[in-house]
Copies of this chain bind each other. A is one copy, B any other.
Amino acid sequence: MERITIEDVAARAGVSPTTVSHVFSGHRPVRSETKALVERVAIELGYRPNAVARSLRVQRTNTAMIILPDITNPFYPVFARGVQDVLRAGEYHTLLCNTDSREEEERAFLDEAISRRLDGVVFMGYWVSPEELLDVATAGVAVVNLGEGVPGAPIDSVRSTDEEGARDATAFLLGRYGSAVALIDGTMFAPVARARTSGYQRALRSAGLVPVPEYEVSEEFTREGGSRGMAALLDLADPPRAVFCANDQIAIGALQEAARRGLSVPADIAIVGFDDIDAATMVRPNLTTVRNSPDALGAHCGELLLSRMTGEFTGPGRDVVIPAELVIRESA
Chain B residue at minimal CB-CB distance from A281: B256
Contact at B98–A96, with CB atoms within 8 Å? yes
The answer for the CA separation of A279 and B281 in the assembled complex, in Å, is: 11
Number of interface residues of A (CB under 8 A): 43
Contact at A71–B61, with CB atoms within 8 Å? no
Contact of A279 among B95, B97, B279 (CB under 8 A): B279
A268 within 8 A of B: no
A89 within 8 A of B: no
A116 with B52, Cβ < 8 A, contacts A98-B81, A98-B84 known:
yes
Give every chain B residue within 8 A of A100 (Cβ-Cβ).
Answer: 81
The answer for the CA separation of A75 and B209 in the assembled complex, in Å, is: 44
Chain B residue at minimal CB-CB distance from A78: B72
The answer for the CA separation of A139 and B51 in the assembled complex, in Å, is: 14
A80 within 8 A of B: yes
The answer for the CA separation of A209 and B252 in the assembled complex, in Å, is: 42
A37 within 8 A of B: no
Task: Name A residues whose Cβ lies closer than 8 Å to a Cβ of B.
Answer: 1, 3, 46, 48-53, 55-56, 61, 71-72, 74, 77-78, 80-81, 84, 93-98, 100, 112, 114-117, 138-140, 223, 252, 256, 278-279, 282-284
